[in-house]
Structure formats: structure tokens, C-alpha cells
Amino acid sequence: MSDLAVEIKSRREELGLTVKEMADSIGLSKDGDKVLRFWESGNGRPDKVVFGKIMTFANKRPYARKITNPKFKFIDLFAGIGGIRIPFQEQGGQCVFTSEWDHFAQKTYQMNFGGEIFGDITEVDIDKDIPKFDILLGGFPCQPFSQAGLHKGFSDTRGTLFFNIEEIIEKKRPKAFLLENVKQLKGHDHGRTYKVIEEHLRNLNYTVTPAILRAGDFGVPQNRERLYIVGFDREEYDLPENYVFEFPEPPKTATRLGDILEENVDPKYTISEKLYEGHKRRKEEHKKRGNGFGFSLFNADSEYTNTLSARYYKDGSEILIDQGENMRPRKLTPRECARLQGFPEDFIIPVSDTRAYKQFGNSVAVPVIREIAKNMLRTMEELESSKNAGCTYQRATS
């Protein structure tokens, strides 16, 4: 085996990546994993540009921050790939605890942020593993609660992942929290799921303010609506029960899909003739039934796309890019998915395309979180000032 082959393989293994992950991460074409294996076995060699990409890929973790005197400390639960963390870190915060169970999401998170990642949140020792912090962040899964009725205390939520959030809040008493979920949580189980969540948070003596915000109103070309829940410790800030947090006013900046699309996209992202014919056939069948289901086609001048989902890797039907007359459409690239969610350009994507689609589909619109974070930190400063002045904060709704 040549020295070059050893260097390539050693670099990949040092990063903890599979051949497929490395091939997709550095942008090799279709069957790039086979080509990379060929190079690693000493048969053939990449050109200087590609070799440089291999040896410099993920040379540093772009969001690894150790702040000597952080403005605040926060924990990142159900962290995914860190979309909620980035804006709070930008505001001067230090993440002191992260939990994410998915191995591949952990890989992406670790490559960008470094630090220790706890796996299963249900196995965390709250007193031992979680240090003191100011803000809890969590994009928790939507789950039904098994017990009928309300007012049952923890028995309503035990066995669900929300219970773990509830337990951490009760034991650690953070000053504030931000929870993110799908818009449908408000109507889940006929509205009962959300009602239980809000009641339990209020029973812990926290304010609760929900809002549904759309990513497309915050500068990214995606019609993605999500539910955000912000709360503050009433004991800490001496807040009235009906206190309402002011969510950011959407700037409603004009958006254009072409602004996030790459040039010279690899042909491997063009869907196959067989898949395209299937899409067209199913769309026609839906049309005959009188509904609008089926694949959706967008171009550079489109104002926004449909919601990017975790199932995008399957067939890309919700967002296909028109490549012109007599050309089959293509899927978004992973980097375009990152941009569609507002992730910074230096965010490292160290997994296969399939995993990347799932991860960005499950993630958050970073610009929305950024504006919420600004408002939360501004509000906390106001509340601290009021507390230090011996005043009761008055803003509330009737």
C-alpha cells in the first residue's frame, strides 16, 4: 500500500467516518465510496484538489467555544445537530450539558461543537451529570400521554420524554426555557397533549407563552411552521401568573430559493427516470381524485419551498428543483438543505447524504431561533434589572 493510500485511510479513520460518509462529505460523485476504497487500497490516486479536501476536511470544530466568563449557561436537550445551540452560543452563552441519543446526529454535533454528548436522556443522573445552568433548550418529540384527564401530577407524563424535561426543570430550576416542537402539537390528541404540557410547566411555577412562527418570515425560503414555547421562573423574577413573553416580530424579508441553490450540482442529485415517472403518475392519480397531493417542483425564482422533512431522503417529492425543459428535476443537496434551515456555511456535514437529509429535516430554522434567543436574553436582562430595583415586573395580558 502506498504512503498516499495510508494517509487517506488514516485521515478518514481519525475522523471516525465510514467510507461512504467521507465520500459524500467531500463531494465525490456517484459511487464515490467505491472510488475512495480504490484509493485507500493503493489503486489509483486522487488529484491534488481532492486529496487536499480529504486531508483538510473538518480540521477544526467551527463551533467549539470555551468562554471564560459566559453571560449565561444553558443545556441542549434532544439536541439533534445543534441548530438551537448556535444562536444561544452567539449571544454569549456557554453550553454545559448536551443530550442526544442518535449516533449519527452525535457525530455531526461532535464534529461541529466538540465536548461530551450524553446519549439517552432517560439514563441521565440529573443531580450528578447536569451542572447548574440558566436556560434549558429542547426540541423534544411529540408523544401522547397515557393517563386520561388532567391534574394528575407527574403520572400524566411519566414514561414520555417530556417527563425528563419536566423533572430537570423541577430539580434544577433554570431561569428560563425554550421548547420547540411541530405545529401540530397544539392539536395533538384533540389538544390534550399540549394542555397537559402547559399545565405541568405552570405547576412548576413558570410562565408559559407559546407561538407558531414560520421560517419563511425570518429570511429563509421555506414554508416551515413550528411551535415555540418560552417560559420564565416566576419565583426568580417575581412574575405575575398571566405574564406573556414577547416573541420577535417576523421581519418578513423577501426570500428567493435561488439565493441558496448551488451552481454546477453533481448529476447524482438528479432523480432517475423511473422515480420521476412514478412521481408524475401518482400526481395525476391524486389530481383525478380532486386533491393536490404529489411531488412539488420549484425553481430559482420560487419564493419558498415546502417544509423540509426527515423523509426527504426517500424520494425528495416535497421539494424537487426544476432543471429546465427536457431535464429531470433534482433533489436538494445536503448543503442546500443546510442553507434552507439557515445553518452557517462553515457548518460541517460529516455524514452520508441520506443521514444529512434526515438530520436537516429534523432540525430547526436557525434564524427563527436566533431572533427568539435575542428576545429571551433581552427580556432576562430587563427582568434582572427589575428584580435588582425591587420592582415587580408588570407586563402581562388580560
How far apart are the C-alpha atoms of 116 and 127, rounded to whole Å? Answer: 17
- Give the number of C-alpha atoms closer than 13 A to the C-alpha of residue 133, restricted to the C-beta side: 26
Q: How many C-beta atoms lie closer than 10 Å to residue 55's C-beta?
A: 12
User: Could you give the angle at which helices 3-15 and 48-56 cross, rounded to 10 degrees?
Assistant: 40
Residues marked as catalytic: 142
Reference 112, options 367, 368, 346; nearest CA is 346
Three-state SS for the chain is CCHHHHHHHHHHHHHCCCHHHHHHHCCCCCCHHHHHHHHHCCCCCCCHHHHHHHHHCCCCCCCCCCCCCCCEEEEEECCCCCCCHHHHHHCCEEEEEEECCCHHHHHHHHHHHCCCCECCHHHCCHHHHCCCCCEEEECCCCCCCCCCCCCCHHHHCCCCHHHHHHHHHHHHCCCEEEEEEEHHHHHHHHHHHHHHHHHHHHHCCECCEEEEEEHHHHCCCECCEEEEEEEEEHHHHCCCCCCCCCCCCCCCCCCCHHHHCCCCCCHHHECCHHHHHHHHHHHHHHHHHCCCCCCCEECCCCCCECCCCCCHHHHCCCCEECCCCCCCCECCCHHHHHHHCCCCCCCCCCCCHHHHHHHHHHCCCHHHHHHHHHHHHHHHHHHHHHHHCCCCCCCCCC
Give residue for cell 493510500.
5
